[in-house]
Amino acid sequence: MGTAIGYAYRLVVCLLVLASGLCCALAASPSKGSDSTSMDTLELYAAYAGAAYSVTSAWDCDDECAHPGTEGTIVEFYWDRPVITSNGYIARNPAKRIIIVAFRGTDSPSDWAQDFDGRLDSWPTSVQGSLVVDGFLVGYLVVANQVMRQVIYLADRYPDYTIVAVGHSLGGTRASMFVAGFSTEYPDYISRTQMYTYGQSKCGNDVFARYMDGLDARLYRVINKGDIAPHLPRNSDMFYHFGTEIWITYDNSTVVCQSNDYSMCSESVPQDQQNVADHSSYPGL
């Protein structure tokens, strides 16, 4: 990830300063993981998320592109938007029959500005009362039409493939925006869709969270040990997490919590043990 780690550190430090107005949480009782939540699976999709920091038109990067299980990956589409910064790629893995939609995390000062844009947008427009953070949404909307066209093209060409949206940090929030937008534009494809995000911030209000929880899709948020980012900003009951939370514990095992109660997962970490280092040290990333 190179300089991306430094940017991620600065992002979380800045979030600490701004921690006065954005987010709360949802989930249920903990359970042991299945194949979908095994460490091998989490590391595989973490590698795909991490690759978004460097992959362009070919599957050629550092450690992430050599991660076991990613061999044979074919990059089908890459985007790099410099003004409203948005980067990522769409790839497919024929051996695993998956289409990867990967969004890059915080990697530039422009990304930080979008991270800290606390304005709220009514979105998706078809979901009455749903609100999301404008700074997270804008970097997705600038490429939404192109990304969805590419995904639909590949999904139709490879009807037995699963669509998997991934992202780390800011990339995780944009992966969430993709799933939400995709579900409203192409609802017939959502049952083929999964999501794995790493160190994702809370990005919408309770209406948005309930909408996401109601989708016929597997949505996984991975949180590493005491990663502080998913807890920030504090002191607000306006924003909520959604989906299945997979908490990587301090002994590198995993605990799985469903929506409505995350108390046995990352919420069990005392505030004074939450830290910046765990935000950039996800296994596989």
Does residue 271 fall inside a structural domain? yes
Whether 112 maps to a domain, the answer reads yes
In eight-state DSSP terms, residue 124 is: S
pLDDT tens digit at each of 285 positions of the chain: 544 444 444 444 444 434 433 333 333 344 444 588 899 999 999 999 999 999 999 999 988 999 999 999 999 999 998 867 899 999 999 999 999 999 999 764 444 434 445 678 999 999 999 999 888 999 999 999 999 999 999 999 999 999 999 999 999 999 999 999 999 999 999 999 999 999 998 889 999 999 999 999 999 999 999 998 898 766 567 888 999 999 999 999 999 998 778 989 998 999 999 998 999 999 999
Burial of residue 185, with CB atoms counted within 10 A of its CB: 0-12 exposed, 13-18 middle, 19 or more buried: middle
In the sheet where 86-93 sits, what is the strand order? 30-31, 254-257, 244-248, 218-224, 193-198, 162-168, 98-103, 86-93, 74-81
Q: What is the pLDDT of residue 24?
A: 33
Q: By CB neighbour count within 10 A (0-12 exposed, 13-18 middle, 19+ buried), where does 87 fall?
A: buried
Phi, psi for 251 (deg, rounded to 5) = -100, 15
CA atoms within 13 A on the CB side of 115: 32
Separation of alpha carbons 193 and 197, rounded Å: 13
From 139, 141, 142, 162, select the one nearest 151 (Cα to Cα): 162
SS3 127: coil
Q: Which domain holds residue 225?
A: 3-280
Q: Do residues 66 and 185 lie in contact, with contact meaning Cβ atoms separated by under 8 Å?
A: no
Q: Which residue has the tokens 């769409």?
A: 90
Please name the residues in contact with 156: beta carbons below 8 A apart, sequence gap of 6 or more.
Answer: none
Domain count for the chain: 1
Characterize 3-13 residue by residue with b for buried, 16 or more Cβ atoms within 10 angstroms of its Cβ, and e for exposed: ebbebbeebbe
Residue 90 lies in a domain: yes
Does 285 map to a domain? no
Residue (of 97, 105, 3) closest to 46 by Cα position? 105
**R_g of the chain computed on alpha carbons:** 17
> How far from each other are the two terminal CA atoms of the chain, in whole angstroms?
8
In a domain, residue 150? The reply is yes
**232 belongs to a structural domain:** yes
Q: State the CATH number of the domain containing residue 123.
A: 3.40.50.1820
